[in-house]
């Protein structure tokens, strides 16, 4: 696997490629990222991954400074997975001047759920993903369903800007007990790690209650209360339409989404039900 740090070197290496398949990451890679790379290998003629911790998507009080930067280990995992090319720019390369032009996603999709609790998050994500897409010019790009709203925002961006990129979703990878894999799981103490599975269990319980005919509002309230009683600080536990993340109309396919803080670690998860 070749590692490049500049846009010029990336473009030079990709000059002959007709169908790069791209996995964008912020590093600190786990098996969920590696599953994306394996899938990418089936879909393109060159598999490209990026590692870049994107300042624009962190709020001032969030973990930008402490976000684990593990480039050497990440590169080894990517090479093992058969990735062909790693693009690992530094901030000066990707943002040589303050990034004054930004991609502002539709507030109807981006200002709710994660966007409500992390204002500006999806502008930061959309801006860096747009820029990475301009650098790599992939034919296909892969994203995990764990970041469900992010996936929807990126799909919509690609569609609205008529970008010739196929967005492929990958199912969430889970630990044996059901906890969704996330780079931020590394922040959990051993006790918190044991407790963390309760987020996916709460979502599974919500799905069961809905199947049993319970009202949406009651299901949401009970999930919030259950997590709060266990010592979590839930931001939302909610039932939404898979089409637009709004409260679902009758018969619409739904996704259950949850975000909650355990100690100082904020976890998200979702379940299509
Ligand atoms: O999901 C992530 O890791 C990030 O939000 C992404 C898509 C790499 C943009 O920085």
CA 221 / ligand 1 centre spacing (Å): 30
What is the reported pLDDT for 87? 99
Annotated catalytic residue 33:
yes
What is the reported pLDDT for 57? 98
Q: What is the pLDDT of residues 124-142, one digit of tens each?
A: 999 999 999 999 999 999 9
Contact 242, 88 (CB under 8 A): no
- Ligand 1 atom closest to Cα of 144? 1
**Three-class SS state of 202:** helix
- The closest alpha carbon to 260, from 206, 199, 216, belongs to 199
Domains and CATH numbers, the chain: 2-170 (3.40.50.620), 183-272 (3.30.1300.10)
What residues of the chain score a pLDDT lower than 50?
none
Residues with CB under 6 A from ligand 1: 24-26, 54, 57, 125, 128-129, 147, 150
As a 3-state breakdown, the chain gives helix, strand, coil percent values, each rounded to 5, of 40, 20, 35
Angstrom CA distances, 91 to 52, 55, 98, 254, stand at 8, 9, 10, 38
What is the reported pLDDT for 183? 94
The binding site for beta-alanine consists of: 57
What is the reported pLDDT for 196? 98
pTM, entire model: 0.97
Cα separation, 48 vs 197, in Å, equals 32
What is the reported pLDDT for 167? 99
**Three-class SS state of 100:** coil
């Amino acid at each position: 696997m070749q590692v490049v740090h500049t846009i010029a070197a990336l473009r030079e290496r990709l000059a002959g490629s007709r169908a790069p398949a791209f996995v964008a990451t912020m590093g600190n890679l786990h098996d969920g990222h590696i599953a994306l790379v394996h899938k990418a290998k089936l879909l393109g003629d060159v598999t490209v991954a990026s590692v870049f911790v994107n300042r624009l998507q962190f709020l001032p009080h969030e973990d930008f400074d402490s976000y684990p930067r593990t480039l050497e280990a990440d590169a080894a995992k990517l090479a093992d997975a058969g990735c062909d090319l790693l693009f690992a720019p530094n901030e000066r390369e990707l943002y040589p001047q303050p990034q004054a032009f930004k991609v502002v996603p539709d507030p109807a999709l981006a200002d709710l759920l994660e966007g409500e609790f992390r204002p500006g998050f999806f502008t930061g994500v959309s801006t860096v993903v747009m820029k990475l897409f301009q650098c790599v010019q992939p034919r296909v790009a892969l994203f995990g369903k764990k970041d469900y709203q992010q996936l929807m925002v990126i799909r919509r961006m690609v569609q609205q800007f008529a970008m010739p990129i196929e967005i492929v979703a990958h199912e969430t990878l889970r630990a044996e007990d059901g906890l969704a894999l996330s780079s931020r799981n590394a922040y959990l103490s051993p006790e918190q790690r044991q407790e963390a599975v309760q987020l996916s269990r709460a979502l599974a319980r919500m799905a069961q209650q809905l199947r049993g005919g319970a009202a949406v509002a009651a299901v949401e309230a009970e999930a919030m209360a259950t997590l709060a009683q266990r010592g979590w600080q839930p931001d939302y536990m909610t039932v939404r339409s898979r089409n637009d993340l709004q409260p679902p109309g009758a018969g619409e396919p739904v996704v259950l989404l949850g975000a909650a803080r355990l100690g100082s670690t904020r976890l998200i998860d979702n379940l299509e039900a």
